[in-house]
Amino acid sequence: MSREPTFEEFINQKIEEEPHLVEQNRALLDMYKKGFIQVTYNSDIDDFDIRASAMGKTWFYSSIARSFVAAEA
């Protein structure tokens, strides 16, 4: 049985892989640590789901590892 990755591990890997996006990735990780976004690991798709809420609106992002674009955050 493999261990599910944490969102922090995922972002840190992205920082290593894409140093030109380090600032955006760190900002996303900071928002996660401060509770501004909720992240869950979806074992059915082996990927992360993000829920973000602001000013009465909620956004959902699914399969972020496959289509991850930090600048969108």
Three-state SS for the chain is CCCCCCHHHHHHHHHHHCHHHHHHHHHHHHHHHCCCEEEEEECCCCEEEEEEEECCEEEEEECHHHHCCHHHC
Question: Residue 35 falls within a domain, yes or no?
Answer: yes
Question: Residue 53 falls within a domain, yes or no?
Answer: yes
Cβ distance 50 to 67 under 8 Å?
no
Question: Residue 40 falls within a domain, yes or no?
Answer: yes
Question: Residue 28 falls within a domain, yes or no?
Answer: yes
Closest by CA position to 59, among listed 30, 37, 43: 37
The number of domains in the chain is 1
Structural domain range at position 29: 7-72
Which amino acid appears at position 1 of this protein? M
Residues 5-58 pLDDT 10s = 899 998 998 889 888 988 988 988 998 999 888 898 888 888 888 888 877 888
pLDDT at 1 over 90: no
Question: Residue 1 falls within a domain, yes or no?
Answer: no
